[in-house]
Amino acid sequence: MSTRLVFACAAALSLLGQSANAQAQIALANGAALPQISRPLIVDRTLATNDQNAARHITLAGEDEGIAHIRRLLGTSTVEEQWAFLPDQRMWIEIGVGEDKAQVETDVEYLKLILFGAPRVHLYHFHPARYFEPGVNASLALALPSPADVESSVKIAMLMEEANLATDVRNYVVSPHGVVEYEPTSIGSARMHAEATHPRAFVARDLLTLVTLRRSAFNLERMLDATPNASATEIIHELCSQLSSEFYRMEFYPNVS
């Protein structure tokens, strides 16, 4: 599919707080509307958690601005949330469903429509501040994506491989420490796809095992014993390094303030 999402920003801003039923305002390049499936689109000024899911929230903001909104949610929100950010349109689309105290699921069918329609998609979610116990360095692993998050990144990469789409998909988790990016490399994606039906699917299986091991309290305690003066930023950098390979990429962008 070659459709491209485009957005008429000035017109859309006039829709703030209103239902974005004026389909021409949020449109695909071929004139079709950004899909309104099962719930209407609402344009919001800031990113917010939405566990009611009566509507789908859209926010017009740059990537750094949206991350700043998410950082404000870290300390106040009791649930997680997920968004697809479209860099070319500077648009954030809420794609979380089933928001619970310790997880959020992805509206997969809606996400597919976005992935099949936009050239670049950055997927964001966050781990709230309440996950991080003050002074407990073992909780630093929670700054990294969970095994379920990594599995989700692999499934999305496989979806792109199967559809033979070149969409540039990136995954990010925001925590009080900063942002961690995570996704299969192009080599890893191709290998995992080739192994998909193989009973010994080594790359994906080894990756998920490694994520669980590296995030474990056992590993964290050993790292802290070995480098007692390491800062939180250095430990998270090291964990990302331990989980990066030719098949998978994990990179930490610490908060600058």
Pairing of strands 248-254, 178-184: antiparallel
Largest distance between two CA atoms of the chain: 59
Min dist CB 80 to Zn ion, Å, is: 7
**Between 46 and 103, CB nearer to Zn ion:** 103
Pairing of strands 5-7, 26-28: antiparallel
**Between 145 and 188, CB nearer to Zn ion:** 145
**Between 7 and 92, CB nearer to Zn ion:** 92
**Between 172 and 247, CB nearer to Zn ion:** 172
- Report the residue from 139, 146, 185, 245 that binds Zn ion according to the rule CB under 5 A: 146
# residues contacting Zn ion (CB under 5 A):
2
Distance between CA atoms of 162 and 157, rounded to whole angstroms? 9
Distance between CA atoms of 207 and 226, rounded to whole angstroms? 24
**Between 8 and 102, CB nearer to Zn ion:** 102
Min dist CB 157 to Zn ion, Å, is: 17
Contact characters 149-188, Zn ion, x per CB under 5 A: x---------------------------------------
Min dist CB 23 to Zn ion, Å, is: 33
Distance between CA atoms of 173 and 126, rounded to whole angstroms? 5
Distance between CA atoms of 256 and 130, rounded to whole angstroms? 21
Min dist CB 41 to Zn ion, Å, is: 25
Distance between CA atoms of 27 and 8, rounded to whole angstroms? 8
**Does 99 participate in binding Zn ion (rule CB under 5 A)?**
no
Neighbour count for residue 145 (Cβ, 10 Å): 26
**Between 50 and 106, CB nearer to Zn ion:** 106
Distance between CA atoms of 217 and 174, rounded to whole angstroms? 21
Which among 230, 49, 208, 211 has a CA at the least distance from the CA of 128?
Answer: 49
Candidates 112-120, 148-156, 188-196, 208-216; binding stretch for Zn ion (CB under 5 A) = 148-156
Min dist CB 146 to Zn ion, Å, is: 5
Query: Contact residues for Zn ion (CB under 5 A)?
Result: 146, 149
